[in-house]
A and B are shown apart, each in its own frame.
Chain A
């Protein structure tokens, strides 16, 4: 890999993101930078504002102040659908799929979103080979190949998380915003997912909200720690691990870091 010799390509850059809900400041002056080939983890206790942050980046929530750039372009005012079209995909903290549809149809719909031709009402969706091929490839990439024809609602929790990844991949997303992809997973499922994430990192940028400390330190290239809606510290895992401020503010004691 000559990736180290190239200057890192900045995919997503947020400056001074602020979100207020009435009098509550859920996010204040948050800066986030995401580069290609990197897994950036958002860390923080419950209520720290991680989901608010990811919702602003994905367009689900308009920021009160601040600016978001994707490949240098201002996308602060774009809707969620528009951000998906430029290359930002996301998964949700609570599984968000089409439970009545098969795995294939979930991912095929995601693929179809890249070439929408709504006026072609007499063509058959299942005859669009490119979308089917894309769906199959993404299902494989997310490690769900054995479940292609299953109704997605009956999959295990972990498999549904994998399905969400496959759907995001099918949209050709360059930036993956993943909200707790490991939540509720068993250790084996979790280990699988870590492998998937590492593989995906090679060609994309991943922003991760995660609580599983082992997984965080196994995959993170950079960690941003948030507390009470504010940015506490940002740096490589070693720096975060050693940070006194992080230990005091977030973890209370050194023991609870589990590392």
Chain B
């Protein structure tokens, strides 16, 4: 697509999202805020799946670890500063990913999928079966982090609107960050690894280190999403780390089109919208949702981002005849 057209479309989308609070409906504000943080989550996974070729099936672990660190820090130290808590949560997620990745990245293909899943399940059981984080009930957040810098309070996370725009700003920030990373020599190496890792090694790249760095970075960014989740909803449960969530975020990436940041964002929005829509019309919504996703994946290889190209080709094909 023409870069100007795509830029304008993106801008329109951002403005449309920014206008959601005008509806005055708390329900929509919270829903779209959730979509925004899920978009961050999906983009972080896309860095692995779509750009590095690492299909992680345990990405919810990093989301959950950051979410739990928000709850646990607040429970132990009272209300904390956003400017301390956010970096701490990101760091912990990235660190967990670094340790897990150190072992997981030695495996390939189906084994990598299984090992990442196994580690995530271990993290899940730590929170589910031990008293660390309130067991299977999870825990409530005592207080949302404070944004005060000295005596200046730029915004208030207890305020629904402020929270919404904070999530939007974080989503844009993560998008811009990843966009930049992908254009860097580092990002090009990741894409080379996805295309042909063996060739990258024979060109003199130590691909293990690059993959581990990507894995850790993706974990940290997944942590941003988990942080926002905990602050938005005010509670955390072990289910945040369960393999269902790892599967959901993988579906978002596939739905949007792997290897496209915009695709990951779109996948997250469409997925969450469908979840709401189907849950609204029937209690068997998961059945319906599953069928729709199977149909989408079958009939739309390449995901949502591939649609404009397919329409264009169809039109050109028609015109040529």
Contact = CB atoms under 8 A, between A and B. Distances in A.
A101 B184 CA distance: 16
A124 to B, nearest CB: 5
Contacts of B199: 96-98
B109 interface: no
B201 interface: yes
A123 B195 contact: no
A90 B188 contact: no
A116 B207 CA distance: 12
- The range of chain B's interface size is 20 to 34
Interface of A is mostly: loop
Contacts of B196: 96-99
A208 B169 CA distance: 57
B210 interface: yes
Contacts of A118: 185-186, 189, 209-210, 213
Contacts of B202: 58, 60, 80-81, 84, 89-90, 92, 96
Interface stretch (A4-12, A106-114, A210-218, A222-230): A106-114
A171 interface: yes
Contact of A120 (B184, B191, B201, B209): B184
Contacts of A114: 204
Interface string A114-129: 1011111111111010
Contacts of A124: 183-184
B203 A109 contact: yes
Interface in B186-230: 186-189, 191-192, 195-196, 198-207, 209-210, 213
Nearest to A86: B204
B181 interface: yes
A112 B180 contact: no
Contacts of B209: 118
Contacts of A80: 201-202
Interface centre among A84, A119, A121 (most CB of B within 10 A): A121
Nearest to B213: A118
A122 B203 contact: no
Given A110-B203, A171-B203, A122 B198 contact: no
A81 B189 contact: no
Contacts of B192: 98, 101, 109
B226 to A, nearest CB: 22
A113 B204 contact: yes
B185 A81 contact: no
A80 B200 CA distance: 10
Contact of A79 (B187, B195, B201): B201
A167 interface: yes
Interface majority SS (helix, strand, loop, mixed), chain B: helix
Interface in A114-153: 114, 116-126, 128, 131
A38 B184 CA distance: 38
Contacts of A195: none
A122 B195 contact: no
A105 interface: yes
Contacts of A167: 203
A100 interface: yes
A177 to B, nearest CB: 10
A85 interface: yes
A210 to B, nearest CB: 20
Contacts of A89: 202
Interface in A26-83: 58, 60, 79-82
Contacts of A117: 185
A171 B202 CA distance: 10
Nearest to A98: B195
A99 B195 contact: yes
Contacts of B207: 81
A112 B201 contact: no
Query: Which residue of B180, B185, B191, B192 has the most chain A CB atoms within 10 A of its CB atom?
Result: B185
Nearest to A173: B204
A197 to B, nearest CB: 19
A100 B195 contact: yes
B184 A122 contact: yes
A123 B188 CA distance: 11
Nearest to B205: A113
Contact of B187 (A116, A121, A128): A121
Chain A CB count within 10 A is highest, among B188, B201, B203, B205, for: B203
Given A96-B198, A98-B192, A99-B195, A116 B185 contact: yes
A132 B210 CA distance: 22
Contacts of B187: 121, 125
Contact of A109 (B183, B188, B198): B188
17 contacts: A81-B205, A81-B206, A82-B204, A92-B202, A98-B192, A98-B195, A108-B188, A109-B188, A110-B203, A113-B204, A118-B185, A121-B180, A121-B184, A121-B187, A123-B184, A128-B185, A167-B203
Q: Which are the 3 A-B pairs with shortest beta-carbon distances?
A: A84-B204, A113-B204, A98-B195
Given A109-B192, A120-B186, 20 more contacts: A82-B204, A89-B202, A98-B192, A98-B199, A99-B195, A101-B191, A101-B192, A109-B189, A112-B185, A112-B188, A116-B185, A116-B205, A117-B185, A118-B185, A118-B210, A121-B180, A122-B180, A125-B188, A126-B183, A171-B204
